[in-house]
Amino acid sequence: MLETIAVILLILWLLGLVSAYTLGGFIHILLVIAVVAILLRLIRR
């Protein structure tokens, strides 16, 4: 479940990166949350 959320957040970040209507810092916050989720999954293995 955590991995799925991380993938969704990364996809949303990439979509925000290529779109003209980015929300500034919000997109980068999504990236940070996705990276943290991936790291938590790797640590909990």
Which pLDDT value is given to residue 9? 78
Which pLDDT value is given to residue 19? 64
DSSP sequence for 1-45: -HHHHHHHHHHHHHHHHHSS---THHHHHHHHHHHHHHHHHHHH-
Which pLDDT value is given to residue 24? 64
- Where do the structural domains in the chain lie, given as residue ranges? 2-44
Token code pair at residue 28: 């980068």
Whole-angstrom distance, CA of residue 20 vs CA of residue 37: 27
Residue 27 region by backbone torsions, left for phi larger than 0, else alpha for psi between -120 and 50, else beta? alpha
Which pLDDT value is given to residue 22? 54
Over residues 1-45, the pLDDT tens digits come to 777 887 787 787 777 666 656 566 676 777 788 888 888 888 987
